[in-house]
Structure 1
């Protein structure tokens, strides 16, 4: 089942995919164009993987990491499907990152790889923008690279774990203004999903609605104001986002 959170008629609703429309938790059927899409869950602790695809590491002229390279993201960064992401006027390179998002479903501590899938609620799509101008190095991204407001579109759906036969064999693609610019597959992750859950839960407790952003394959290119970016994970969803400039934020 594909689930979403939306705003409609002055209220926030849980909704499900219903024949190319949305069925709200109160039973009403509405058109997708008439709602405001929120993130499919309210993210709790968010773990983002760096250099988790060997081709992406090579693209950046780095050796593949020997253990997961993880940093944290704040809740301020997340926006929903059809949202807008700010590109600061003074930056020279800001790129998308299409990622499979893994949503934890229950408390997890010292989980072994063979049991890891039992702790997953579902999957979604994330587009984790990065500003290379702010980067110190690829092994230590600072806060301005990955924790700016609006820099992580997330959604539109939460697809329940039981409905995804093999999350380690899903195609990822990104289109900018209808041009294919990035493609890869989750089977090329350096550290697969069970390994990431075992690793993280070995030293900290994971909780419901924690999110693991599992990294991006090669193909990240610069985006500019006005670009429409579509990140898609096979069987999970198609996430649309627009780049806007500083002038839209002058009164915020």
Structure 2
């Protein structure tokens, strides 16, 4: 299934994408794509619904972040061997975890704000893992049982804030709109191999990133299991798994985003996003 949240910011409704690509309204069955809806039992209940029995959503409404009730966004750094190479970093011996704050979440086609004082705004297409049920101390062999599905995320980053402003990476990752997520959550059963998905990102129509999840250093079961050793994962939590090469920081000379720039990006089978950069709002 492809599950969506659509409508104005803060008023999103749950939906399902049917075989013809139309949005079907799920609000008579669930209040949101969140919480217990993301469990195996909850997803099976949605799968049993005939999409033809659901109202068609007219027009082209805004897509919100494809999952609600998110308690945390966790990111895995330098998790692609070819991206680590472009940054000049040694591949990590175990996953690097950092956080992106919840206020960063936005819809896949929402505008992206350039923060005040920013001079190094960057892009990162990433495979996002959506947790479906509470996970604590899970093994790699059982880790996928706790995954509801997958989505595209653009891990927007302000490199000066991230690297030059002291402390850890969170301050360069957490501005409003730094986490476009979606357009939809594709349930685990429809992603045959999350470790063989083509990824791409363009800026102003020019290809910047081309990659495949087959160059992940730590795969999805490893990451989910690893993170669950340090903190309890809850339904709706998002884990972004790293980015392939081609980020602005890695170019020679580095190239960064400015207002008016347009990013388009996607992952095979998971959909595409489009964002325009604007100056930060109050």
Q: Does structure 1 residue 98 correspond to structure 2 residue 125?
A: yes
Structure 1: distance between partners of 2:119 and 2:22: 39
Structure 2 alignment gaps of length 5 or more: 29-53, 249-255
The answer for the alignment partner of 1:231 in structure 2 is 265
Q: CA deviation at 1:117?
A: 1.0
Structure 2: distance between partners of 1:57 and 1:245: 30
> Does the CA contact (< 8 Å) of 1:21 and 1:32 recur in 2?
no
Structure 2: distance between partners of 1:79 and 1:242: 13
For residue 277 of structure 2, the aligned residue among 223, 243, 247 is 243
Query: Could you say if the C-alpha distance between residues 191 and 41 of structure 1 is closer, same or farther in structure 2, counting changes exceeding 3 Å?
Result: same
The answer for the alignment partner of 2:139 in structure 1 is 112
Q: CA deviation at 1:142?
A: 3.2
> Does the CA contact (< 8 Å) of 1:38 and 1:79 recur in 2?
yes
| 1:179-204 C-alpha deviation (Å, 9 max, x unpaired) | 22101111101111111111111232
Q: CA deviation at 1:28?
A: 2.6
The answer for the alignment partner of 1:157 in structure 2 is 184
RMSD: 1.9
The answer for the alignment partner of 2:14 in structure 1 is 14
| 1:220-252 C-alpha deviation (Å, 9 max, x unpaired) | 122221112112011111111111114xx1xx3
Structure 1 alignment gaps of length 5 or more: none
Task: Say which SS state the counterpart of residue 103 (structure 2) adopts.
Answer: helix
Deviates more, 1:17-26 or 1:122-131: 17-26
> Does the CA contact (< 8 Å) of 2:162 and 2:170 recur in 1?
no
Structure 1: distance between partners of 2:246 and 2:168: 19
With the length of structure 1 as denominator, give the TM-score of the two structures: 0.91
> Does the CA contact (< 8 Å) of 1:85 and 1:150 recur in 2?
yes
With the length of structure 2 as denominator, give the TM-score of the two structures: 0.82
For residue 192 of structure 1, the aligned residue among 219, 233, 236 is 219
Q: CA deviation at 1:140?
A: 6.2
Q: CA deviation at 1:55?
A: 1.3
Q: Does structure 1 residue 80 correspond to structure 2 residue 80?
A: no
Structure 1: distance between partners of 2:120 and 2:58: 36
Q: Does structure 1 residue 176 correspond to structure 2 residue 203?
A: yes
